[in-house]
Each structure stands twice: as structure tokens, then as C-alpha cells.
A and B are shown apart, each in its own frame.
Chain A
Amino acid sequence: MSELLLAPKRMIELEIDGQSVRVFEGETILGACRRLGIDTPTLCYGDTLEPANACRVCVVEVEGARVLAPACSRKAEAGMKVQTDSERVRHSRKMVLELLASSVDLSTTDEIPGYLERYDAQPERFGPPAPPDPDRDRKRTGHHVEPDGQTAATVYAPVKIDNELYVRDYSKCILCYKCVDACGEQFQNTFAIHVAGRGFDARISTEYVAELPDSACVYCGNCIAVCPTGALMFVSEHALRAEGDWREDDQTVTTTVCPYCGVGCNLELHVQDNTIVKVTSPDDHDITRGNLCIKGRFGFQHVQARDAP
């Protein structure tokens, strides 16, 4: 009903890879590409969040522009001519993938193998990856130790396990800002985490690197929900993966309604061996838009902590 109150939107026409396409005014180039079925790689983009346009893997070439444009955030304009597979585009996408894959552990980013192959990316060419750095959280801004170039610098750091609900493995962090946005103004408004530091040393941090139980975190897990790389993960998933027993193919995903308050949040229960191993919420449901609170996200354990009567 409320949709009826929205003013009708104007349609505009543009050209992508020689094909003409009509989109609503305000739609992005990415949206236009999707209408045409053009598969655009994305990593930092999330359907439920404002585009951070930080990873730049979705860049396209807009005729007349000096530099490439991020498809995820650049609004389509009438008469625009866009190339999504030009040599410049392919080069930058390939390089972005190489730069990321050589500095971040992308082993739990599902799209990565496909992307690397599609763009013939060779991340290993920058040298063997540097080992984890236990001091990564406390780097002095604007300073670094001069490298010898014999290893490729990485963001690897020890895994953070400081609570019983979820794990933070920032070796897998591509700094997409999604967790910060979800914890912040776009959803949860708790602001427990933020990007700290600068440049290659930029990282997600609490104030003074506080452990989560000392921080503002309310364990809604909305950061886990938006994390594209598995840097943030349920303890249950982390443990099963560590044991080599995470079997996505054997899991069922069932949508139901949270058993707690009366808001009616939809839960997607990920079940393996009759055990809930993860809880998500549908991105496209307008009650939650993918978000939950601590009870919805983690309060399921009572059903499996019961003694069999």
C-alpha cells in the first residue's frame, strides 16, 4: 500500500556494451547491467546497504570519462555509453583481484575462484605471502618498516576469538566497510566497530582494540550477515570448518519466524545433521532486510540444548 504513495519514476535510456537499456532514473550502472544479464563482479557491494564502492572490482568504462567508474554506485545517466569488458576494464578488474588475493585470505569467499579464472588473475606473482602480524592492530599511522619486496605484504593477523558467539578473522578482511555500515547508521546504530588506522594498515577495530565483551557490541550478528568473505563467522561454522565438517551441500535452509518478541522477524535456519549451524534473515524481507538481534541470531540454542524427553 505504501508503495502506492511513491511518485512514479522516470525511465532513462543508456547503452552498455552496444546494447540499449532502459532503467529507472536513479538506478546504478550495476542495476542496468543486471537488467541486460551482464555479469558484473562485486565484492564490497551488498543489496541491502549503500554502496561503499571501495573494492573497485566492478569498475566500468564510461565514454568521455578520464577514469573508470564503479558500476555499483555510479548512477546511470541518459545517453551514457558504458563498456564493461574493454581492455582497461579487464585490466583494472584483474589487478584489483590480484591485489586483494595476494594480501587477503579469500579461502572462504565463494566468488573468488570464478573471478580469478575469468580475469586470468595471478596473485602469486607478487611473491610469497608475508606471515601474520600480531601487532597489526596497533600500527602507527603514517609509518611502516621499509619492505625488501621478497614477500608480499598481507593483512594476516591472529584470529580473534573473544566471545562464545562469533569469530573475527581479519586475515580475510577486504575492508569493504559493510560490517561498519551494518553496525552503524545503516542498520544497527550500535557503532561498536569502525575502520581504524590508514592505508594498508587500515583495519576494523573497536576503540583501543577492546575485546568484544568490553566493547559496545550487542551481538546482533548483522555484521556477520553482510560480511562477504567469511572474516566474520558464527562460532559454530568456524568450529565445523576447523574440523573439516562444514558441509554446505548437506545443509537445509528453512525460513521461519523468530520465537521471541512480536516483531516477526523471518529467520533462515541453516541445519546440518538436525542441528542449527547458522541463522540468517532474508535480505529481501522488509521487516528485517537481513538483520536480526542477538536473540534471533543466536538464541536458537535452547531447542538443541534440550534433553530428549
Chain B
Amino acid sequence: MFGAGGGTSSYREMEETDVVLLWGSNARETHPIFFHHLLRGIHNGARLFVIDPRRTTSAQWADRWLGLEVGSDIALSNTVAREIIHAGLANRAFIDNATEGFDAYAASVEPFTLAEGERLTGVPAEAIREMAHAFARADRAMICWTLGITEHHTAVDNVLSLINLALLCGHVGRFGSGLNPLRGQNNVQGGGDMGAIPNKLAGFQDIEQDHEARARFEQAWGVTIRPTYGWHLTQMFDGMEHGELRTLYVIGENPAQSEADINRTRKLLSELDFLVVQDIVLTKTAEMADVVFPSAASWCETDGTVTNSERRVQRVRKALDPPGEARDDMWIITEIARRLGQDWPDPVAEDVWDELRSLSPMHSGKSYARLEELGGIQWPCPDETHPGSPMLHERLWAEPRIGPAAPFTVVEARGPFEELDADYPIRLTTGRRLESYNTGTQTNLYSSPLHRGESLDLSPEDAERLELADGEVARVSSRRGSVEAPVRIDPALRPGLAFMTFHFPDQVDTNQLTIDATDPKSGTAEFKAAAIRVEKIERVEDEERAGVAEHATVGGQQ
């Protein structure tokens, strides 16, 4: 947010806020313990608005669920903004003191009347109005989001549109008010913190623009760092397609099953000159590799740190010896460096961390001893007397303001890249389920009553129209591929909307259907919106049907 990539608030604040907009997030299932904090807030009186095309288990807790059309998020936020402005509920004092670009923004949302909002989003005008007024009138209000916002070809604009709403009402930089992306993986925040993104060095120091920082890293490492941004994932695949990228080293990722438009991904991976995969299990990607480095599970077989969604750096610790030849990631990388002729010392997690602290000012105050003592520390934490930062951007409330103004951004409301048509009339959106995670490489190795394999979730109306019974296997096709999946009838879906996960790719290869239309700024593919066709499978041999059904039921054990 406004520079550093991290949520502005702490979970604790959810318990004492007044209004929460949970936007494009089913936190009840995808971030269950975060949702505990939210539930405390609800029991303390907070009103919850859930913005999601599906009436998810999170939405069932909402004082108001706004079931918008997939990909109409900006249309909705712009309508909310216009209503706030016209109702005289914008926080003018905050806008004048802390922001810039309001007039252009206000002009840009002007066409989004409540009626137009209803037309574009499918949500009744009254519900939009209610949310707008509740958010604007609240003393404290939070906006939280997940992949429902970011897995679109308009990902960055979607986020900016939410930031606009917070700025409009001054709901940022105060206790109980903030903007919070809920991170989907235990160290996705840490990856950014540590510079595992194409444009930043560790500590969000810009690789092109922050010359001073780059010089510090060059000094420490004794090498020259090219002052140019690297490639994000989508650009890498484009690079493969154009023959510019011929060797790939994959660590802890399973792109052969997790990427959108998976048939293309597999083709590109298979055409590489050399593929190295480092993972804790032999994934589908690893099966394609020229070299596989079996690694230790970083969360329980090694020492280190991870960063969570409230910017809290916490220790992971070795509890188990890794099996067989599996080695710590650090050991593997060091060993490669040595084979390449570098004289690297034996790696010690704390030493690596201390080096990071010496180069990333936002982490400087977080010694291992302090992380231990305080149960983790939220960045920024510039020195060892600093308690860490539960909240960001309090500076925006100083008068006169400290630091640069927070900018409003004019964002264009554009729907999903792939429009529905007569051939592909149903919108497929994807997500996670409570018990599972990503491509299931970890979660399919434990068994629970909640594991029920992959399904194509359909509205009761669509199932009836297509003459599909609950559990019946149907054919699902997009312009990119076709799979078979058992149908599950889910009243949380409206007619024309279908839902799948990619937790069980060995059973149902959902990513054959998804589209790799990506946001050019973030490189994230539009997993949330593909156009599909669902068909009843006629004349299936009984044997074959039994086989598929059996496959479906044992999905949990894979």
C-alpha cells in the first residue's frame, strides 16, 4: 500500500472495528484463524459485508452479501464511491490533508449511479447503497481481500479501487481502520519482503530507482547488480515461448499443475533445455525435470523465518530430521554455488538473517532473540529498541501531513477478459476449500471426512436445466481444454455461475479450463473468470462411469 507491499493493520484490530468489507475472499475457509478475529469483531457488534459472486460460508455471516457478477469489482467500488460522494459522506478533511487526485477520481466515478451499478454488477442498488453508507459512516472500517480481487486481468486496478474507497473515507492509518490483503501462502508476504519479486531488493527497495540501496547490496555481496527489473512468472512463460528462456530452476512450486491454461504451460516446460526442480515431494513438475533436488520441508525440518499477512516476521524451527537424502534449501543452494566455484561458508539460518537485517532497514531491529521473545515482530522495525509496527500509515493523519500524499487512482471498470457466448455460456470461477490447499501436494497426503475430491459446483437451476444429478459426471469444456468432473449442486451459486478448485489435478485437471489472461502489472492470471460449457455425458459405459466415480471418492487419498 502506497509503497511497501503489505497490509496496513493487525488481526487484533478486526476485533474492535465497526464495519468490515470482505471483498473477494472466503476467509472462513481460506484463512480460518484470521476469520476467528473477524468473528470476535462481529460478536462485538461489527457489521460485515461480503462481496463475492458466491454466497460462501463467509458470506453467510454477512449482514449483507453482495453477490456481484464475476469481475465487476471496479464497477461496484466506483458505484460505492459515487454514492459516498453524493451523500456527502466523503471525509473531506482527510482527503484534503492526506491525499491527491481526488477531483479526477470523483469525476471518473460520476457515471456510476446506483442504477448503473446494479446493471453492471447484478447487485440490487439498495444493497450497494447500504454498504456505501455503512462504510462511510463507520468510525472504524476495514477492507480485506484475497484472490477474488487479484486473480483477474485487472488485478492491480482492482486493488487500487479498494484503496480509493479507504482514502475517500479516511479508513486507513488508524486503529481499527485499514486495508488488508490476506496472503494465500504462509510466506508469500515473506517472499516479497526478501526480494523474491522481479522489481525489488529485500525490504521493498527498488532495484532500478533506489541507487543507494543497490550500492549497499553490491558492497555487501561484492557483485554488481543490474539495475533492471526481472521477469515475473507470466513474462517467464512468454520468454519460454519466444525462446529467450531455456533453463528454469523451480523451488517449491508446481507450475505443471497450478498455472492457468495448463496445457500451454506443460508444453513450454517440456520444451525447455534444462529444468531443475527442488521440492519436498515429487510433484508433476518434478517428474518433468532433468534434475530434482529433494528438499527438507522448510516449516518443520529447517530453521528460518516467514512473514504473515499482518507483516509479522516469525521463526520457523526444525522439529524433524528430513527423510533420506532431502536437504535444507540453503544447503542445496550453497552446494550449487560451491560447485560453481564460489567459496561460500556452511549456511546457518541466523547468519543469513543477520545479513538481511544489515541490508533491509525495515527488518534491522528483528534479531532472532527478539523474534523469540516477542513471538514475532511486525515490520517496519528499524532498530532493536523498536516494538514493531502493528499499523501502517499513521503519518497520513498528522497535520501537516508527514511524507508524500496518498494518491487516488482513476481505474477503468473492465469485465473479465473472456466474455460469455453461446458456445461457452457459463462463468467458471475457481478457489479453495477449507481442508485443501493449492494443487494438493501437501493436503492430499492426509485424509479427512472433508476431503471429497474435485467437483464441478453448479447452481440448482443449471443442474436442472442440464439434467445433471448431484454426483453425476459431466463434461466441462473451455476454449483451452476439456475435463470430466462430478457435479455438486450448490445453492450458493446463481444460475450461470460454476465453481471448481484445482486441489485434485490428478483427478480433474481444472487448469486445462482456466485462462492465462494476465494483469500486465502483477503477472497474475485470471483464474477467477473463464467461459465454459457444461454437458451431460450421454451413453457412458457403466464400467467407465464406475471408474470415474471411484476415482472421485478416493480423491482425498491421492
Direct interface between A and B, CB < 8 A = yes
A residues with a Cβ closer than 8 A to B are 1-2, 5, 163-165, 185, 187-189, 212-213, 217-220, 252, 254-266, 269, 271, 274-276, 282, 285-289, 291-296, 298-309
5 more contacts with CB within 8 A, not counting A1-B391, A287-B308, are: A1-B389, A2-B175, A287-B312, A303-B300, A306-B280
Are A276 and B319 touching (Cβ within 8 A)?
yes
Of the candidates B11, B33, B321, B435, the one having the most CB atoms from chain A within 10 angstroms of its own CB is B33
Are B323 and A306 touching (Cβ within 8 A)?
yes
The chain B residue with its CB closest to the CB of A275 is B320
Contacts of A291 in B (CB 8 A): 33, 36
Contacting A at CB under 8 A, from B434-453, are: 434-435, 437, 441-443, 445-450
The 9 closest A-B pairs by CB, nearest first: A264-B308, A262-B183, A308-B324, A309-B294, A254-B319, A293-B32, A302-B445, A213-B449, A301-B446
Say if the beta carbon of B316 comes within 8 Å of chain A. yes
Are B446 and A2 touching (Cβ within 8 A)?
no
Contacts of B442 in A (CB 8 A): 259-260, 299, 302
Q: How far is the CB of B6 from chain A (nearest CB, A)?
A: 11
The stretch that binds A, out of B45-53, B86-94, B185-193, B360-368, is B185-193
Contacts of A164 in B (CB 8 A): 447-449
Are A187 and B36 touching (Cβ within 8 A)?
yes
Q: Is the interface of A mostly helix, strand, loop or mixed?
A: loop
Q: How far is the CB of A168 from chain B (nearest CB, A)?
A: 14
Given contacts A1-B390, A274-B321, contact A295 B43 (CB under 8 A): no
Are A258 and B186 touching (Cβ within 8 A)?
yes
The chain B residue with its CB closest to the CB of A298 is B446
Are A220 and B443 touching (Cβ within 8 A)?
no
Are B315 and A256 touching (Cβ within 8 A)?
yes
Cα A255 to Cα B16 with chains together (Å): 28
Are A2 and B10 touching (Cβ within 8 A)?
yes
Say if the beta carbon of B297 comes within 8 Å of chain A. yes
Are A1 and B387 touching (Cβ within 8 A)?
yes
Partner of A260, one of B36, B43, B186, B320: B186
The chain B residue with its CB closest to the CB of A303 is B297
Of the candidates A165, A254, A259, A265, the one having the most CB atoms from chain B within 10 angstroms of its own CB is A259
Say if the beta carbon of B39 comes within 8 Å of chain A. yes
Are B316 and A256 touching (Cβ within 8 A)?
yes
Say if the beta carbon of B182 comes within 8 Å of chain A. yes
The chain B residue with its CB closest to the CB of A189 is B39
Q: How far is the CB of A278 from chain B (nearest CB, A)?
A: 12
Given contacts A2-B13, A257-B299, A263-B308, contact A292 B33 (CB under 8 A): yes
Interface string of B319-349 (1 = CB under 8 A from A): 1110111100000000000000000000000
Are B448 and A287 touching (Cβ within 8 A)?
no
Q: How far is the CB of B190 from chain A (nearest CB, A)?
A: 9
Are A303 and B280 touching (Cβ within 8 A)?
yes
Partner of A285, one of B307, B326, B375: B375
Given contacts A271-B319, A303-B280, contact A262 B297 (CB under 8 A): no
Cα A269 to Cα B10 with chains together (Å): 25
Are B449 and A295 touching (Cβ within 8 A)?
no
Interface string of B353-391 (1 = CB under 8 A from A): 000000000000000000000011000000000010111
Are A262 and B445 touching (Cβ within 8 A)?
no
Are B317 and A295 touching (Cβ within 8 A)?
no
Given contacts A288-B33, A303-B280, contact A262 B448 (CB under 8 A): no
Are A266 and B300 touching (Cβ within 8 A)?
no
Are A261 and B317 touching (Cβ within 8 A)?
no
Are A264 and B310 touching (Cβ within 8 A)?
yes
Are A261 and B445 touching (Cβ within 8 A)?
no
Are B184 and A287 touching (Cβ within 8 A)?
no
Say if the beta carbon of B306 comes within 8 Å of chain A. yes
Q: List 11 A-B contacts (CB under 8 A).
A: A163-B448, A164-B448, A189-B36, A219-B449, A219-B450, A256-B300, A261-B31, A287-B312, A291-B33, A305-B446, A306-B445
Contacts of A163 in B (CB 8 A): 448-449
Contacts of A302 in B (CB 8 A): 280-281, 297, 441-443, 445-446
Given contacts A263-B33, A293-B434, contact A257 B188 (CB under 8 A): no
Say if the beta carbon of B12 comes within 8 Å of chain A. yes
Are B186 and A262 touching (Cβ within 8 A)?
yes
Are B294 and A262 touching (Cβ within 8 A)?
no
The chain A residue with its CB closest to the CB of B305 is A257
Contacts of B184 in A (CB 8 A): 261-262
Contacts of B36 in A (CB 8 A): 187-189, 288-289, 291
Cα A259 to Cα B184 with chains together (Å): 11
Cα A163 to Cα B450 with chains together (Å): 10
Contacts of A271 in B (CB 8 A): 319-320
Are B375 and A266 touching (Cβ within 8 A)?
yes
Are B309 and A308 touching (Cβ within 8 A)?
no
Q: How far is the CB of B524 from chain A (nearest CB, A)?
A: 15
The chain A residue with its CB closest to the CB of B443 is A299
Cα A238 to Cα B376 with chains together (Å): 33
Contacts of B282 in A (CB 8 A): 307, 309
Cα A269 to Cα B435 with chains together (Å): 19
Cα A255 to Cα B306 with chains together (Å): 13
Say if the beta carbon of B314 comes within 8 Å of chain A. yes
Are B315 and A264 touching (Cβ within 8 A)?
no
Contacts of B324 in A (CB 8 A): 307-309
Are A165 and B323 touching (Cβ within 8 A)?
no
Contacts of B450 in A (CB 8 A): 218-219, 294
Contacts of B187 in A (CB 8 A): 262
Are B437 and A254 touching (Cβ within 8 A)?
no
Cα A212 to Cα B300 with chains together (Å): 30
Contacts of A264 in B (CB 8 A): 186, 306-310, 312, 314, 376
The chain A residue with its CB closest to the CB of B389 is A1
Cα A164 to Cα B447 with chains together (Å): 7
Partner of B448, one of A187, A255, A298: A298
Partner of B323, one of A255, A295, A308: A308
Are B186 and A259 touching (Cβ within 8 A)?
yes
Cα A275 to Cα B301 with chains together (Å): 12
Cα A122 to Cα B189 with chains together (Å): 57
Given contacts A1-B390, A256-B319, A302-B441, contact A219 B186 (CB under 8 A): no
The chain A residue with its CB closest to the CB of B445 is A302
Q: How far is the CB of A5 from chain B (nearest CB, A)?
A: 6
Q: How far is the CB of A55 from chain B (nearest CB, A)?
A: 25
Say if the beta carbon of B318 comes within 8 Å of chain A. yes
Q: How far is the CB of A306 from chain B (nearest CB, A)?
A: 6
Contacts of B397 in A (CB 8 A): none
Cα A260 to Cα B188 with chains together (Å): 10
Say if the beta carbon of B34 comes within 8 Å of chain A. yes
Cα A265 to Cα B375 with chains together (Å): 11
Are B309 and A299 touching (Cβ within 8 A)?
no
Are A219 and B435 touching (Cβ within 8 A)?
yes
Say if the beta carbon of B30 comes within 8 Å of chain A. yes
Cα A219 to Cα B421 with chains together (Å): 41
Of the candidates A257, A269, A301, the one having the most CB atoms from chain B within 10 angstroms of its own CB is A257
Contacts of A298 in B (CB 8 A): 446, 448
Are B301 and A218 touching (Cβ within 8 A)?
no
Cα A250 to Cα B184 with chains together (Å): 35
Q: How far is the CB of B288 from chain A (nearest CB, A)?
A: 17
Cα A293 to Cα B326 with chains together (Å): 28
Cα A2 to Cα B178 with chains together (Å): 14
Partner of A262, one of B31, B175, B318: B31
Contacts of B318 in A (CB 8 A): 254
Contacts of B435 in A (CB 8 A): 219, 294-295, 299
Contacts of B437 in A (CB 8 A): 260-261, 295, 299
Partner of A294, one of B389, B390, B434: B434
